Amino acid sequence: MKKQDMNRDWIATARTLSQALPYLQRYTNAIIVIKLGGHAMGSDEGMESFARDVVLMRQVGINPVIVHGGGPMINALLDKLEIKSEFVNGKRVTDEKTMEVVEMVLSGTVNKRIVQAINRQGGRAVGLSGKDANLITCTQTNPELGLVGTPSEVNPQVIRTLFENGLIPVIAPLGAGENGETFNINGDTAAGAIAASLKADRLLLLTDVSGVKNGEGEVLTELNAKQIRDMTADGTIAGGMIPKTETALDALEGGTRAVVILDGRAPNACLLELFTEHGAGSIIRLG
């Protein structure tokens, strides 16, 4: 690369940092809950980039919380162990044998991979699950689905304690029942419940699509709760986007300021959303 080109690149970088200043100031001490999906953490390069972004957020005064999924990794291990799954209305029945695999993957392999990636970038991440310190108490979602839970109570005190010590929580979506059972929680649902309990400034739902789309397939950059409900009723929002938008509405009604659905595979997606004027994905507010 020519020296002149290099100088242009450095000038552009400096200009970008300067333009980011108002956003850096806006988010000082803000709580940002990030749902990292199983597909969004596919490659080592993508994980490294995500971890670097999270460490940067912490460095500039943001309190990030990572809630992760792990569906593809769970499926792979179940197949390897030749444990067959039953499904009810497209949802996996989680029996005790399946639950052992789910907990092994979520609290073990996946959680520690994210923690290690953040720590390698100079952050201080701590892995835990919703079972730790009574973080998430669950009720059974549907007896037909077995050990699948819906959060009934979230106690975020352990997360606030980690914030006070400069640590980054990385949370596996598991919860405890009133009788000590372990429940598997949908990752989006867990992230929404945690964001609501913390009254988070933002909940970022990282997916494998660019955002909420209208009938013509165009990404809508801003939506409110009424638009979400109308688009769901007329079928514009369908399939896998329905549980994500439902999570968004629940989180907003619980006290989260705004929810953003964005493509977690895009480089620096979180930074683009937080620190640039145009943002990324679809931001949803109550009104």
Catalytic (active-site) positions: 35, 38, 71, 188, 244
Enumerate the H helices of 165-279 as residue ranges. Answer: 187-198, 225-233, 241-253, 269-275
* 1 CB neighbour count, 10 Å cutoff: 7
In this structure, are residues 186 and 37 in contact, taking their beta carbons and an 8 Å threshold?
A: no
In this structure, are residues 91 and 148 in contact, taking their beta carbons and an 8 Å threshold?
A: yes
259: left (phi over 0), alpha (psi -120 to 50) or beta: beta
In this structure, are residues 250 and 33 in contact, taking their beta carbons and an 8 Å threshold?
A: no
**Residue 63 to residue 160: CA distance in whole angstroms:** 9
Nearest of 248, 255, 264 to residue 210 by alpha carbon: 264
